[in-house]
Amino acid sequence: MVNPKNIYIVAGGTGGHVFPAKRVAQKYLEKGFMINWIGTSRGPEKKICKELGINFIQVPLYGFRGKGFFTKLKALLAFFLSGLIFIFKSNIFNRLNSPMIVFGGYVSLIAFFYFRGPVFLQEQNTIPGSVSRLLISTNKVSKIFCGFETTKNFFKKYNKNFIDLVNTGNPVGKIKEKENNILDSSPLKILILGGSQGSMFLNESVPEILEELLEKKIVKVKHQTGFKNEAKVLNAYSAYLENVTIQEFISDIESSYLWADIVICRSGALTVSEIIASRSVGIFVPIKTSIDDHQKENANYLKSLNASWILEESDSFNNELRNLISEIIDNRNLIHEKRRNIRLIEIKDAESTIFNEVNAWYK
C-alpha cells in the first residue's frame, strides 16, 4: 500500500494534549504532508494551526464526565453535531486512505466518525483518560503510542492483543539537558509553572512562601502565571521584582529549564516529560481535581525513582514547601541526587518513532 501524504491530527482544549500534537504535526510538515487538524475553540490549537499553515476544523465537543443530566444531554448533541461538521468539512468519502492520530481528551471522540483509514492514539498520561479507554475498549484504535511504560502496562489490562502498544514517550521536542553546575553560594533559581492555563493555587501560595527568601536575596524566581493572571501575581511579588521574572506564558520553555535549579509545578504528563528530557528536578504539586488522580500518578512515576518531590495541596502546604526549599538551600546535594536518578531514564525521540510507526502500518 502507498504511504499516505495526508493525515488527520485530533487534539484540543489544554496544552497537555495540544502541544504534543503540535510537535508531531511539525514532523509531518517536514515530510511534506498535508494536515487537517480537528480541535475546539477553547485551547491554543486554532492559533497553532494558523501559525503553521494547517487546515483547522473546529468542532463543539466538550467534556461531560461528572456533569449533570442536562450538561450530558447537551454534550451528546454536540457530539453528533461535531460528527456532521467533520464529515462535511473533511470530505471523508474520497478514496484516500489517510491515517488519523488522536491525542486524548473529548475532542478525540471524533474518531468514531472516521472510517477511511487507521486511527492511532497518543496517550500522554500514566493513567489514561476516559476517551482513551473508550477508544481501546471499542477497538477503534490500531496502535497506541504510550507516554510512559506505566501507560503501556495500564492498556495491557484490556487484553487487546491485536492493538499494538508502543512505548514512544511523549513528544516534547529536543530539549537540552541541564548540567550539574549549581554553586552552593549562589541564589537558588526557582521556576514556577502552573501548566498552559496557570494555577490559581500556585499563583496565590508560592509568592507568599518565597517572600522571606526573596527578601534575603537567596532565591531568584521565574513564574509562569497563565493567561490573565500576570497582574495579580506581579502585585504579589511587587517588593522583589529585582529577582523575579513574571510571564503569562513562557514560549521558550527550554531556556527556563536550563536556567532553573528546581521547578515547582503541576504534574501534567507533558510537564513531567519535559522535566525528564531537560534533566530538571521537580517539586510536583498534583492538582486535586484531576480526573482519576492522574496528575498524582504522573508525579509518582518520578518519585518512585527518587528523582523528584511531591507535595499535596493541603492546609500544611505552605509550611511544607517553605521547609523543603530551606532544606535544599542548605544542602544542594539533594538536587544533585535527584538529577543523577533522573539521568537514568531513557529519553526517546517520540516524534520520529510515531511517524515511523504510522508509516509502518502501510507497508
Q: Which fold has domain 188-342?
A: Rossmann fold (3.40.50)
User: What is the dihedral sign for C-alpha 178, 181, 184, 190?
Assistant: negative
CATH class, domain 6-169+348-360, is: alpha beta
Is the pLDDT confidence value at 41 over 80? yes
**Where in the chain are the domains?**
6-169+348-360, 188-342
Backbone angles phi, psi at 265, to 5 degrees: -160, 165
Q: Give the tens place of pLDDT for each residue, 117-175.
A: 899 999 999 999 999 999 999 999 999 999 999 999 999 999 999 999 999 999 998 88
pLDDT band at 66 (very low <50, low <70, confident <90, very high): low
348: amino acid identity, one letter: K
Ramachandran bin of 195, using left for φ above 0, alpha for ψ from -120 to 50, beta for the remaining angles: left
Say yes or no: do domains 6-169+348-360 and 188-342 share a fold.
yes
User: What is the dihedral sign for C-alpha 325, 327, 329, 331?
Assistant: negative
On average, the pLDDT of the chain sits at 91
Return the bridge partners of 222, or none.
191, 245
Q: Give the tens place of pLDDT for each residue, 282-296.
A: 999 998 876 678 899
pTM: 0.91
194 with 203: CB under 8 angstroms?
Answer: yes
What is each CA distance from 278 to 136, 158, 177, in whole angstroms? 32, 33, 4
Instruction: Give the closest residue to 110 by CA, choosing from 80, 89, 133.
Output: 80
DSSP state of 168: -
Give the Cα separation of 179 and 217 in Å (integer): 23
342 with 137: CB under 8 angstroms?
Answer: no
305 with 344: CB under 8 angstroms?
Answer: yes
Is the pLDDT confidence value at 18 over 60? yes
